Amino acid sequence: MLNKKANIAVLVSGGGTNLQALIDAQNDGTLKNGEIKLVISNKADAYALTRAKNADITAKSLVKKDFETAEKWEEELIKTLKENDIDLIVLAGFLAILSEKFTKTFEKRIINVHPSLIPSFCGQGFYGLKVHEEALKKGVKVTGATVHFVNEIPDGGEIIMQKAVEVEENDTPEILQKRVMQQAEWIILPQSVEKISEIIVKEKNND
């Protein structure tokens, strides 16, 4: 067995709690077949960049408004990923919309974590607290998180892993958000990244 790992880039917009879950998984050996090589944020002041630097991971911000057009921004993003030989892109709270050109460039190589059991409470406009607000409004008894491949449809790609979380009587969107992160997102995201990294490593070793 050749000792090759999948090179991972994590794309983030905010605090990077899911990024931290991946860094922890890398440190404790849950993530064996992949290595986080790069963290990119579309916000210059994202705390996720600090988390990356603290873990000795290359961190870079690419802010859309610094580019003439969204296309130019995306071209720079693609260029940066290719220059770093990235095999797998993980969207961990990345709030920029990626074009079909981007998703086709990295087909079956982009995964996202979404804070509900898709197909519930997903698609355009469903992100962050809004997902949990809608779940509570609907009165669901069970929610959870989903890791899926990314294609041109928001939250529309093939599901890799899901985990259910119970909704409790006095839940607020904030309390529910935290429970879904702790009991689902932070567990299935590292597991999914390892699962896909293993497939990539097998492909690399067969080259």
Q: What is the pLDDT of residues 20-78, one digit of tens each?
A: 999 999 999 999 999 999 999 999 999 999 999 999 999 999 999 999 999 999 999 99
What is residue 1's predicted lDDT score, i.e. its pLDDT? 47
* CA–CA separation, 182 and 175 (whole Å): 11
Contact 18, 178 (CB under 8 A): no
Structure tokens at 201: 């490593």
Return the residue matching tokens 């497939």: 199
Using alpha carbons only, give the angle 22, 93, 43 rounded to the nearest 5 degrees.
110
| Tens digit of each residue's pLDDT (9 = 90 or more) over 81-109 | 999 999 999 999 898 889 999 999 999 99
Contact 140, 176 (CB under 8 A): no
Q: How confident is the model at residue 204 (pLDDT cuts 50, 70, 90)?
A: confident
Average pLDDT, the chain: 95
The SS3 of residue 15 is coil
* CA–CA separation, 88 and 128 (whole Å): 23
- Domains of the chain, each with CATH number or no CATH: 6-113+146-160+189-206 (3.40.50.170)
Nearest to 84 by CA among 49, 35, 45: 35
Residue 132 known to be catalytic: no
Catalytic residue of the set 114, 132, 148, 179: 114
Rg of the chain taking only CA atoms, in angstroms: 17
Provide the residue count of the chain: 207
Query: How far from each other are the two terminal CA atoms of the chain, in whole angstroms?
Result: 13
Nearest to 192 by CA among 22, 9, 12, 67: 22
Summary count for the chain: helices (H), strands (E) = 7, 7
- Name the more confident of 21 and 1: 21
